[in-house]
Amino acid sequence: MGDVRGRFTDELAQHPAPPLGDLVQQSVVQGRRLRHRRRLAQFGAGGSALAMLLVIGLAAGPLGVGADDAGQPAGPNLGLPGGSVDTTSPSPAAPSAGAPVRFEEGADEEQGGLVPPTPSTTVIDTVRMGPGPDGELLTTTPQGALELLTRLLPQGKTGGYASLPSRGAGSGMPYVQLYLDRGDGAGMVGLSIYRDRLGGDPVPGTVELTEVPGNCLESQRVTVHHSAGLQVDLMIATCLAWDPKGTSPASPVLSVKEATAIAANPMWGTKLPAEYVRNGAKRFPKLARSNG
């Protein structure tokens, strides 16, 4: 292999490359246009759905159901036995058979053949955000995030704890995932905390639902916008893990309403109460590497 590489290097040296120039800056400009066009397309596709939601909302009453509105305490005991998570909400979408991030010829150019073909993001709700945590705070770790997440989840057995090493994500912005079994078989849930102001700064409490039918790792993604541009994503998977050879289908284990309540918890942030970070470190001393 080394010799082939050496030949490539030698022959590249015989074909001097022109300067990169402002290629990176131009790619940002071009990328912004792509993103803008996609958002416009999504808005067009999602507009009718949003209008339908608004009509339903007007007929059925206020849509805003945050942690507080749902009668759930803002503290970390939402998922403890006897917690008040509403399990009567409609079931999430049916499982998707698609595997995530597959390279396929003929896929939509705009998506680079990588992002599922028809993701759609719609604002589905606005929740009232409670005050952030008090007391000693520490930088959010994957273990701390899992500690809080497991406390917020509905009752059930959890396992398969994993995190994705954050590349490019800032300090205190982990991605974690776990399995939850509420008695009907295990399903996978992922959670990420990050800050991305490219799409503007939506009003804190804005809840978006992204349907990603081609990606079983996040068939549905609930995004709750917190203050200061922070976003908490809760991914509802329809498979247990991703493997290049295939995935194991699984039923979604959270409803959108439950996911919203979890992601809207004001505890989430780039810093967590020290108790969660410390307990998480003890409870999850070693985390698997997420392949998602």
Partner 1 sequence: MADEEFVEFAQAAAGRLRDAAFLMCRDWHLAQDLTQTTLAKVYANWRRVRRADDPHAYARKILLRCMIDQQRRRSSRELAMSAPPERSEEHPAELRMTLLDAVATLPLRDRAIIVLRYWDDLSVETTAEVVGVSTAVVKSQSMRSLNRLRELLGATRSELFAEERH
Stretch touching partner 1 by CB under 8 A, among 10-18, 64-72, 73-81, 181-189: 10-18
3-state SS assignment for residue 82? coil
Site string for partner 1, 188-227 (x = CB under 8 A): ----x-xxxxx-----------------------------
| 102/157 with CB nearer partner 1 | 102
Token pair 């912005």 in the structure block, residue: 173
Stretch touching partner 1 by CB under 8 A, among 47-55, 56-64, 95-103, 131-139: 95-103
Give the residue, chosen from 71, 81, 159, 244, that forms a contact with partner 1 under the rule CB under 8 A. Answer: 244
Minimum CB–partner distance for residue 219 and partner 1 (Å): 14
Q: Rounded to whole angstroms, what are the CA distances from 166 to 47, 153, 169, 219?
A: 34, 23, 5, 21
**Taking a C-beta distance cutoff of 8 angstroms, is the pair 173, 270 a contact?**
yes
- Residue 31 is given by DSSP the state H
Give the residue, chosen from 3, 44, 88, 134, that forms a contact with partner 1 under the rule CB under 8 A. Answer: 3
Residue 260 interacts with partner 1 (CB under 8 A): yes or no: no
Site string for partner 1, 40-79 (x = CB under 8 A): ----------------------------------------
Q: Which two tokens stand for residue 177?
A: 């995932």
Give the residue, chosen from 34, 45, 80, 137, that forms a contact with partner 1 under the rule CB under 8 A. Answer: 34
Q: How far apart are CA 207 and CA 222, in angstroms?
A: 7
Nearest to 92 by CA among 124, 115, 135: 124
Listed in sequence order, the residues at least 6 apart from 142 whose beta carbon sits closer than 8 Å to its beta carbon are: 163, 174, 175, 176, 280, 284, 287
Subset of 118-147 contacting partner 1 (CB under 8 A)? none
Give the residue, chosen from 73, 113, 132, 160, that forms a contact with partner 1 under the rule CB under 8 A. Answer: 113
Q: How far apart are CA 5 and CA 45, in angstroms?
A: 47
How far from the centroid of its chain's Cα atoms is residue 236's Cα?
Answer: 8
Residue 14: how many CB atoms within 10 A of its CB?
6
Residue 102 interacts with partner 1 (CB under 8 A): yes or no: yes
Strands 230-236 and 186-195: antiparallel
Minimum CB–partner distance for residue 177 and partner 1 (Å): 11
Q: Rounded to whole angstroms, what are the CA distances from 186 to 83, 158, 191, 237?
A: 20, 8, 17, 11
Residue 17 interacts with partner 1 (CB under 8 A): yes or no: yes
| 31/185 with CB nearer partner 1 | 31
| List of residues contacting partner 1 (CB under 8 A) | 1-5, 7-8, 11-12, 15, 17-18, 20, 23-24, 26-35, 38, 101-105, 107, 109-115, 164-165, 167-170, 175, 192, 194-198, 244-245, 289-292
